[in-house]
Amino acid sequence: MIFILLILSVVSGVLLGKYFGKKEKFAKNLLIISAGFLITICLNEVFPQVYHAEAGNLGIFVIAGVLLQMILEALTKGFEHGHFHYHNESNILPMALMVGLFIHAFIEGIPLANETNPFSPYLMGILVHNIPISFILGAFLFNRKGSKASYPSILIVALFALASPFGMFLGHYFNPEWQPYFLAVVGGIFLHISSVIIFESNKNHNINWSKIGLVILGVSLALVIHLFHTHPDSGHIH
């Protein structure tokens, strides 16, 4: 079930991007909502589980996740937080996108190895996070001038859709004691992406009430899920 949800979140986002990809404002709004959702999941679910674990130097791995995401953005050119422009699309190579997005999604899937709850907050964070990224990916691949549903484009979508399930599958073969470290790395990735989307400067540094409202919406949705899973042994990554 979790495998299917991970794949569907990518496919649905790509299809939205294919048919509505020229509406950049819609994509930005999706990203802002997902950022509010993601940072709330990160602070309420991921970090408490990371620091509750009996493992040392976990803060270093959170920082490593932040730095890793910064490196991956050299490949993806900031797709994860909405930096895509049709007139600059030639600056982004499909191979670089494929590698960067695959590594990003693969690492996110590893902490799901022992997850059995298809409505866990961490999984919901990944699903909500996947949709706007996939929207942007679909818009880039299928709405460029002269673009079409070519095999390379379909291959990139397939690899991205399968990356998290593949990470989840391989996670079963890793030492269970490594789980907090993988989760700490993902926490750093989540923190970087969501904070960049939320806190990047507005034009002329004016208050953007629309953006604030969208962030609050994302936070509220995540809090509802958090409160729904506060009873013991529910919604936790084991």
Rg (C-alpha) for the chain, rounded Å, is: 17
Is 203 within the bounds of a domain? yes
Is 186 within the bounds of a domain? yes
Q: Supply the range of the domain harboring residue 140.
A: 2-228
Going by C-alpha positions, the residue among 45, 237, 11, 27 that lies closest to residue 127 is 11
Q: What element of type H or E holds 171? A: helix 151-171
pLDDT attached to residue 107:
94
Residue 54, φ and ψ in degrees, nearest 5: -85, 75
Q: What is the pLDDT of residues 36-58, one digit of tens each?
A: 999 999 999 899 988 888 777 88
pLDDT tens per residue, the chain (238 residues)?
899 999 999 999 999 988 887 777 888 888 899 999 999 999 998 999 888 887 778 899 999 999 999 999 888 877 776 655 444 445 455 778 788 889 999 999 999 998 888 888 899 999 999 998 898 888 888 876 555 556 678 888 899 999 999 999 999 999 888 889 999 999 999 999 998 888 875 666 667 888 889 999 999 999 988 787 765 454 455 4
Is 233 within the bounds of a domain? no
Is 105 within the bounds of a domain? yes
- Number of structural domains, the chain? 1
pLDDT attached to residue 24:
72
Termini Cα distance of the chain: 17
- List CB contacts of 202: < 8 A, sequence separation 6 or more: 208, 211
Q: What is the DSSP string of 65-94?
A: HHHHHHHHHHHHTTGGGT---GGGGGGS-H
Burial of 205 from C-beta contacts in 10 A (0-12 / 13-18 / 19+): exposed
Q: What is the pLDDT of residues 50-95, one digit of tens each?
A: 888 877 788 999 999 999 999 998 888 777 766 554 444 454 557 7
Going by C-alpha positions, the residue among 132, 134, 136 that lies closest to residue 144 is 136
Is 237 within the bounds of a domain? no
Is 221 within the bounds of a domain? yes
Amino acid at 198: I
Is 26 within the bounds of a domain? yes
Q: Could you say which DSSP state residue 202 is in?
A: P
pLDDT attached to residue 78:
75
Token pair belonging to 12: 């649905």
Is 35 within the bounds of a domain? yes
